Chains A and B, each alone.
Chain A
Amino acid sequence: MANLKLIDIKKSYGKTQVIHGVNLEVLDGEFCVLVGPSGCGKSTLLRMIAGLEAISDGSILIDEDRVNDISAAKRGLAMVFQSYALYPHMSVRQNLAFGLENLKLDKTEIEKRIQEAARLLRMEEYLKRRPGQLSGGQMQRVAIGRAIVREPSIYLFDEPLSNLDAELRVATRVELKALHERLGNTMVYVTHDQVEAMTMADKIVVLNEGIIEQVGAPLELYNSPANKFVAGFIGSPKMNFLDYSSLPESLKKFAPENSSIFGIRPEHLSITEENSLPLEVNSVEQLGSDSYLYGVTIGEQELSIKLNNQTDIRAQQKVDVGFDLDNAHWFDSAGKSL
């Protein structure tokens, strides 16, 4: 159990700076998800926390102790890798025991912890197998088990679900969340999938090009994004953005001062004539419970709509789209929320 503090963390490879001063505090027992598009530096940040990557500038504090110069082996953290990184020449049991043997624990304690982890992750029956004989989901469990037996102060996850198929990913997501609730440890989880972030996190950190765009609870980020990037990144399908200048006067009058961009989520649009814009529908997706319309509106700007029912609107049809202005977002020219 520990809290984690990053103070003005920077990272450069030669002259290229990839992390531009990150400040972050993860509280004890919190499930913190680092999310962002590829190349935003989230994995680098996690590896710096783990101690696998040198820190160019700034400090990392674990329980208020500066750990910059402590090696990965001595930080007492555990990490689950994207490729699982199971030792292929060892059985599952040996994989789990390896870290504990390095810590010079006695045999009965090692056996006890392995049995506990095996029961927790339901992998008793394949303790004797080699990683090559396991399915992707089983390897995933072993990788998590290897972290659990260590009883680390902080768990680090580096996109652990990205190698699983969709169905298994959802199931494992739920399990991981349950595991966190049971163990109550601090966890830092890196993903590029905003659905994973939304469903699992206590706290989401949205990273973009080496800086933190916003930190907050999932719904907080959803409901009141700090800027256009977060607004666009969180939520699926992504938020619609329209130029302020292209809006009709009937909408402009609701805008705060200095507005430059108008944003609205697809589910806050409806087919109505009130406060409406014309939409030429390009394609329709019917999912049964709900329907998605994709099309273009004034100034050839793209617009998507989520309807909570089935619809008989066809492609190429022209409809009027109404706005739920209570849920509208306004951004200034720099993309900041107003």
Chain B
Amino acid sequence: MTAVINFFTRTQGKKKLSLVDWVSYIFLFLGFLIIFLPVLWLLLNSIKSQFLLQKLDTNLLPMDYERIGRATVYGPEGKEIFMMKDLPSWVLYWSDLSEDERSQHDIDSFISQYGDKEFYALRSHFGLVPGQSKELIINKNLPEWLIKYPSMFPSAKKEYDPESVISVLNIEEVRLLSEYLGLKPYKPNGFTSQIFVTTVDSETSEVTEYSVSRISANKDTVNARLISNPQAGIVKLPKNEIILNKSLKPAWINYTNPLTKNVAGMDFDAVRCLNNSVFVTIVATLITLLINSMAAFALSKYRFNGQIIFFIIILATLMVPASVLIVGIFKMVSVTGLTGSLWGVIIPGAATPTGVFMLRQYMLTIPDELLEAARMDAASEWTIYWRIVLPLALPAVAVLGILSIIWRWNDLILPMIAVSTTKAAYTIQLCLLDFQGEYIAQEHYQLAMTVVSLIPTTLVFVFLQKYITTGIATTGIK
């Protein structure tokens, strides 16, 4: 720890900070912020709840607002809106919970604390109506078409008369089945969690409580409903007058759900996606390094006919935009039967002109005398490449290795060309794309899994960057 403090308080010789020190530290700090803030933003957003993300919440921290339940119950007296305070958060977020998490709560004992309209609201909220209705229909030996009735077309519904069938039941049972069947005056009841806000009257300092369904970033007012009298309708409150009660609430389910295959309506397997990506990245990088360094060795250390032409052709491919090659690569992959196989991702990108060029330029700096000495030492050309040239080109090889790992890990185009038809071969980038479907958008999972997908590349960089700075080849020859 003292070493770290010493490191960050170093000065230019003298004890006191000189002007150069100030400028250096300010520069370093600004540079750090420019690079680190977007990363920090991503990290913090990945633990925001889906609700906050869909609202385009601009807070840096995952601050969630204090919530209140708003229920809409339909009955003989018509539509009634009322507020339910002090509900536990698992009730408010019930629709976001996974099956596992739902099963941890005892709904029946919870709901039995309530009566009347609150009971009806929560019964709908927990989705108990269809189950209890079906049970009732079977127990009372009511006709079976009742079960199918809610999903019938209106024309088909006309052929039945549910009211007369259920009229034999008691009032609670009639209410349950009416809610299920959608018979007037009953309807499925509504329940939403809303933001709890307060305003303070500047003169009387009287506090008024409201519930708000959303606070949009580009409007000056919010649509609020008075909690003491919800039926009174909606009032527009100026945004700068409302007081929000926020609390820090990281949504760890963004991570835990996808990692435990608990994403509703999707077959997301993080382990499989990461495995595919790791396989592609490692194998492709090894092949890339081998092929590129061999090509660079030949181009830099041998004299042969057409050497310049080969070099120019390799350089020329650098100037072709990658998007031009998409169709060609697709045809190549499908003709060779690699579609749907990870090798279809690995092989087309194995030889990179950038890598050949970079390694060739580095290998030119290795003295030819070393190769001649090795030849005198009875080394085969392969031995010269493997035991002399490759170790001496290690700094350049490490750079290319890091680049290749990052390219491969982040690559989206090649996997889309080669394996988009085969779910089992999806790399992590394709898997992430899946969260953004035509009908579903699960940015909260996407952000969290993006963070997970960043971990390997970060680790690789931390681990390999010392090889860049260690100039092994710089010592030895005079």
Q: Which residues of A contact B (CB under 8 A)?
A: 50-52, 71-74, 77-79, 81, 83-89, 98-99, 102-103, 130-133, 136, 146, 150, 163
Contacts and interface: CB of A to CB of B under 8 A. Distances in A.
A74 B387 CA distance: 19
A98 B476 contact: no
Contact of A74 (B367, B370, B378): B378
A73 B476 CA distance: 23
Contacts of A98: 374, 377, 379, 387
Contacts of B392: 88-89
Contact of A89 (B374, B375, B378, B472): B472
Contact of B379 (A77, A84, A85, A102): A102
Contacts of A52: 372, 375-376
A85 B475 contact: no
14 contacts: A52-B376, A73-B380, A83-B478, A85-B370, A87-B374, A87-B388, A88-B473, A89-B392, A89-B472, A98-B387, A99-B377, A131-B476, A146-B377, A150-B377
Given A72-B375, A98-B374, A85 B380 contact: no
B378 A102 contact: yes
Interface in B361-392: 367, 369-370, 372-380, 383, 387-388, 391-392
Interface size class of B (residues with CB under 8 A): 20 to 34
A86 B388 CA distance: 11
B477 interface: yes
Contact of A131 (B375, B387, B475): B475
Secondary structure dominating the interface of B: helix
Nearest to A74: B378
Interface of B: 367, 369-370, 372-380, 383, 387-388, 391-392, 394, 472-473, 475-478
B377 A102 contact: yes
Nearest to B475: A132
B353 to A, nearest CB: 27
Contacts of A84: 477-478
Contact of A102 (B367, B383, B391, B473): B383
B376 A130 contact: no
Contacts of B391: 89
A78 B376 contact: yes
Given A86-B476, A87-B476, A131-B475, A73 B369 contact: no
B473 to A, nearest CB: 6
A88 B475 contact: yes
A72 B387 contact: no
A81 B374 CA distance: 11
A44 to B, nearest CB: 13
B375 A83 contact: no
User: Which 5 A-B pairs rank lowest in CB-CB distance, beginning with the nearest?
Assistant: A88-B476, A132-B475, A99-B377, A85-B373, A85-B369
Given A52-B372, A98-B387, A85 B477 contact: yes
A83 B375 CA distance: 16
A133 B476 CA distance: 8
Contact of A85 (B367, B387, B473): B367
A102 B373 CA distance: 13
Contacts of B373: 79, 81, 85-87, 146
Contacts of B374: 87, 98
A81 B379 CA distance: 16
Contacts of B369: 81, 83, 85
